[in-house]
Copies of this chain bind each other. A is one copy, B any other.
Amino acid sequence: MSTLEAHPSTSTAVAPSRPTGSSAPLHPLGLDAVTVGAGFWAARQGNNGDHAIPSGRDQLERAGNLANLRIAAGQAEGDAVGPIFADSDIYKWLEAVAWEYRRRPDPRLLEMQREVTALIAAAQEEDGYLDSVMQIRHRAEGRYFNLPWSHEHYCAGHLIQAAVAQIRCTGDRQLLDVAVRVADHLVATFGEDRRHDVDGHPVIEMALVELYRETGIRAYLELARYFVEARGHGLMESYGKASSYFSDRVPVHEADTVEGHAVRAVYLAAGATDLATELGDPELLAAVERQFAHRWSTKTYLTGGLGSRWEGEAFGDPYELPSDRAYAETCAAIGGIQWAWRLLLATGKVQYADALERMLFNGFLAGVSLAGTEYFYVNALQVRVGAHADEPRSPRSGRHGWFDCACCPPNVMRTLSSLAGYLATSDDRGLQLHQYTTATIDTESLSVQMTTDYPWDGTVRLTVTAAGPDPRTLSLRLPAWADGATLTVDGQSRPAPAGDYMTVERTWSVGEVVELALPMEVRMTYADPRVDAIRGSVAVQRGPLVYAVEEVDQAAGVSLDEARLVPDGTTSVEHRADLLDGVSVIHLTGRTAPAPASGWPYPDQPTGEPTFSTDDGLPLVAIPYYAWANRALGAMRVWLPA
């Protein structure tokens, strides 16, 4: 079976089977059908492709990841370096290379891809096993001697994902052959009646489902089902962490929330969503929807970021969402995006597309510098006055080009290069637009050109560029924040309700225009009082963007310790093409509340907040949160005391 023939248009990471076997109502369009044009995301994709991906190659060389493969392949000698999951960084980068090639077919990408793929193939053992660090460092202990911590399946999962991206985007099948041999080895080794064991770090679940979709080999889907169902029975109880850390406390079908290590939890949930889709399992789908709803309402930052604890890189208790010690790992946001995307495909519900937008523009995008080559591991919503940069992950230390644990950088790369895949879907009736950026979208029965200055401007113009003879729907997402939006069709405007899709159905003609106007007022945002950490504070949003007040933009002498926001004060928006690669800044009205003298900080007298000084008109300048920490490092706040 030629996989390329089987799925002629699936250059996307998630390709639910059709027409049989899948319950997914929406079909991804992938990079064949969607091309991002000049605009907000294209600029990020350009830096990612021009600078980040080539520099990733160098980083993988410098950090020793590629050397590990050479040693495992017998092409070099030495000890393995780096963390146990070092191979996975290579695979995520390789996946990014494949998406990037589909986006912009530069032969240098293919050259890098083939060189590294050959190395991977050379390192694979006879029976399909492949994990260079294990092969070198832990040969004595043997394969899978410590699976909850060894990340062997985690590495295999990222390998499979890269292989699937490679065949879908470049037609090269060498990595897929490696991946199939890895997967066959796993099928032969693990399962209820074989070795009963799971990797402590999910990702293999998503990967195996996709490999099933790509190859049609049912055993991969069944193994994914086994890995999902094996969890929640305390298999990892004696591995040094609570079973909740590994998402191993409650079976996925029964869980009401996500808990423990955030990336592990959301990767597992995304894999379970894939499984529910392929198996047509309504109970499992209901479980992951329930878990998503609980995470979204009680364990999510305004930015869409997730995982509030440094300790264990974990979800906290409900409403435990400190701004200063937010962990909100970049990889967790990416996992959140992957999960929400799968839920959107599986259900067609608008809230998942809304969540995607929030995570993409804020919790995810803050994880990479404007230049595209420096990364945050941790995405705090506040950096204190006097904060100390005590380690590379500390937000006070700024973004870095790479980390000892370098999971985030190549994860950002693969997300940015495949971003076109998250914009639109189709179903039997027509086309759905979930995210707004300038792009061309081509399907058999309807093609449109989307033109917009979003997120700076709320106007989204859609021009039909090709249409078939039958009536087709065109559905546009109205974000939940978009009260007062209008949709103009045939020159007639009508109100478009927020938090829903608005659908126009007709037989389309080339040149027809539909225009969406999203309200771009500055919004003052409050918090559920159960989020204790931000009581009495207000955040500023505009469109899909969360804003932040950064020390460097304020007038000399203004301390973020003393600034207060006047929520009903005047605000104005100014687009600054010269600033931070072009951003709309928001001018806000504040006050100064002089900090009390230092000393015992808990006075008995009910003085409360210090009295305000007379300068009612302290100007404050806010920038989009994603753009912070691209200049001088200093204090920063998303939530401002009101």
> Which of A14-22, A143-151, A204-212, A521-529 lies at the interface?
A521-529
A557 within 8 A of B: no
> What distance in Å separates the Cβ of A551 from its nearest Cβ neighbour in chain B?
14
> Which of A174-182, A441-449, A531-539 lies at the interface?
A531-539
The interface size bin for chain A is 35 or more
> Which of A28-36, A99-107, A295-303 lies at the interface?
A295-303
CB within 8 Å of B: which of A297-337? 297-298, 300, 302, 309-311, 316-320, 322-325
Q: Is the CB of B297 within 8 A of A601?
A: yes
**Complex alpha-carbon distance, A607 and B528, angstroms:** 10
Query: In the complex, what residues of B have CB within 8 A of residue A384's CB?
Result: 317-320
Query: In the complex, what residues of B have CB within 8 A of residue A311's CB?
Result: 310-311
Q: Is the CB of A641 within 8 A of B529?
A: yes
**Complex alpha-carbon distance, A391 and B243, angstroms:** 9
Q: Which residue of B lies closest to A296 (CB)?
A: B600
A595 within 8 A of B: yes
Q: Which residue of B lies closest to A388 (CB)?
A: B317
Q: Is the CB of A324 within 8 A of B532?
A: yes
Q: Is the CB of B529 within 8 A of A609?
A: yes
A196 within 8 A of B: no
A610 within 8 A of B: yes
**Complex alpha-carbon distance, A212 and B244, angstroms:** 49
Q: Is the CB of A391 within 8 A of B242?
A: yes
Query: In the complex, what residues of B have CB within 8 A of residue A302's CB?
Result: 602
Given contacts A319-B384, A384-B319, contact A527 B601 (CB under 8 A): yes
**Complex alpha-carbon distance, A322 and B529, angstroms:** 15
Copies of this chain, tallied across the complex: 2
Q: Is the CB of B596 within 8 A of A535?
A: no
**Complex alpha-carbon distance, A384 and B245, angstroms:** 19
A386 within 8 A of B: yes
**Complex alpha-carbon distance, A486 and B317, angstroms:** 47
A541 within 8 A of B: yes
A190 within 8 A of B: no
A598 within 8 A of B: yes
Q: Which residue of B lies closest to A499 (CB)?
A: B600
Given contacts A309-B325, A318-B386, contact A529 B593 (CB under 8 A): yes
> What distance in Å separates the Cβ of A639 from its nearest Cβ neighbour in chain B?
8
A259 within 8 A of B: yes
A291 within 8 A of B: no
> What distance in Å separates the Cβ of A155 from its nearest Cβ neighbour in chain B?
23
Q: Is the CB of B324 within 8 A of A325?
A: no
Per a CB cutoff under 8 Å, which of B524, B532, B603 touches A604? B524
Q: Is the CB of A524 within 8 A of B601?
A: no
**Complex alpha-carbon distance, A320 and B318, angstroms:** 20
Q: Is the CB of A525 within 8 A of B604?
A: yes
Q: Is the CB of B320 within 8 A of A541?
A: no
Most buried by B among A296, A384, A388: A388
Query: In the complex, what residues of B have CB within 8 A of residue A608's CB?
Result: 526
**Complex alpha-carbon distance, A322 and B523, angstroms:** 28
A429 within 8 A of B: no
**Complex alpha-carbon distance, A596 and B529, angstroms:** 8
A567 within 8 A of B: yes
Q: Is the CB of A316 within 8 A of B325?
A: yes
Given contacts A309-B310, A390-B244, A595-B528, contact A533 B322 (CB under 8 A): yes
**Complex alpha-carbon distance, A302 and B533, angstroms:** 17
**Complex alpha-carbon distance, A534 and B311, angstroms:** 21
Query: In the complex, what residues of B have CB within 8 A of residue A242's CB?
Result: 390-391
Query: In the complex, what residues of B have CB within 8 A of residue A297's CB?
Result: 598-601
**Complex alpha-carbon distance, A44 and B543, angstroms:** 59
A125 within 8 A of B: no
A530 within 8 A of B: yes
A-B contact pairs, 25 of them (CB 8 A): A259-B390, A298-B386, A298-B598, A316-B325, A317-B388, A318-B384, A319-B384, A320-B324, A322-B325, A323-B532, A524-B606, A526-B602, A526-B606, A526-B608, A527-B601, A528-B595, A528-B601, A529-B595, A529-B610, A532-B533, A532-B537, A535-B535, A538-B606, A539-B602, A541-B604
In the A-B complex, the 7 residue pairs with the smallest Cβ-Cβ separation, listed nearest first, are A528-B601, A310-B311, A536-B536, A523-B604, A242-B390, A317-B387, A535-B536
Extra contacts besides A298-B598, A317-B386 (5): CB < 8 Å: A297-B600, A302-B602, A527-B601, A528-B602, A529-B641
| Partner-B contacts on A (CB < 8 A) | 242, 244-245, 259-260, 296-298, 300, 302, 309-311, 316-320, 322-325, 382, 384-388, 390-391, 480-481, 523-539, 541, 561, 567-568, 593, 595-596, 598-610, 641
